[in-house]
Chains A and B, each alone.
Chain A
Amino acid sequence: MVVARLSGQLRKLANGREEVNLAADDIAGCINSLEQEFPGAKERFCDEKGELLDAINIYINGDNIRSLQGLSTPLKEGDEVDFMSAFAAG
């Protein structure tokens, strides 16, 4: 299991919840799991081609996935995945 954490207004996607525990092998799987639990979540993170939107930053244990392997970045047990508006780091 990993912990998906939603910051700021992104919490609305999960009915106000800040943290969601879910099973996923990589970031794409994490987003798909969120979509299953909270329909509509995926379109806040990805475009129609499935690419990560510029307006979203995703971090694994604090590291931006854009400097890792993007949506294919693997996850391991206990990882913490943070979803934030990219405008936060301004």
Chain B
Amino acid sequence: MIIDRPESWYIFIFSKDCCDRGGDPGSYIMYKGKRLTNKEYLDHWGKWVFFGEKDEVNEMARNLDPYVESGRIPCVKYDRAPQEWAELEECVMCVYCDDRQKDDVLQILSGFGVKAKGWAYEREVIEKWLPGGLHMERWIKAHGMSEEAAETIREESREKFQRQFFDRPNDICLGWEQ
């Protein structure tokens, strides 16, 4: 089910079941039917990443939607337009899963002609959004923030990830808002 909310930069694909559990964030973060803990999430959860023109990712989304609905792919996220702050000229599509099923998911993607691919763990992405991280610092620079405002953003990010993931390794993972 393609979820296109204009207020979000990203367009998502979740299963209808998952959408029906809207009050249960992170319910798609599972492996073999079992929800992951925060520790398992940091150890195993990630995504296949590839680029495409806007029309290409929209078509790929329509192709992948049935696989998300059937549960073979847990979730997909893609840009509605290239992200200028990151100096990207094409849209990025991220196809999420546990690393223990990533080969199966890659096989599906390859069937639709995806060649370029990179696997990124979510723990790597979180590191990039922590103070001093590649994404955090580029985002701050691109938005021309004062140093005071930048420090506030950095501290809020550090606190958010600490509170949500690192302080509670055995809690069921709820993901993080994007």
Contact = CB atoms under 8 A, between A and B. Distances in A.
Interface residues of A, number: 22
Nearest to B50: A7
Interface stretch (B19-27, B64-72, B81-89, B143-151): B81-89
A89 B89 contact: no
Nearest to A89: B120
A82 B94 contact: no
A45 interface: no
A80 B153 CA distance: 38
Task: Assign chain B's interface to a size class.
Answer: 20 to 34
B109 to A, nearest CB: 10
Contact of B118 (A18, A54, A57, A87): A57
A85 B120 CA distance: 12
A7 B51 contact: yes
A82 B115 CA distance: 9
A32 interface: no
B124 A87 contact: no
B139 to A, nearest CB: 9
B48 interface: yes
B128 interface: yes
Contacts of B120: 57, 64, 89
A84 B116 contact: yes
B35 interface: no
Contacts of A87: 83, 86-88, 134-135, 138
A22 interface: no
Interface in A51-76: 54-55, 57, 59, 62-64
A8 B57 CA distance: 13
A29 B138 CA distance: 30
Given A7-B50, A7-B51, A55-B134, A88 B119 contact: no
Interface of B: 47-51, 83, 86-90, 92, 94, 102, 106, 115-120, 124-125, 128-129, 134-135, 138
Given A7-B51, A90-B135, 6 more contacts: A5-B115, A7-B116, A57-B118, A87-B88, A89-B49, A89-B94
Interface of A: 5, 7-9, 18-19, 54-55, 57, 59, 62-64, 80, 82, 84-90
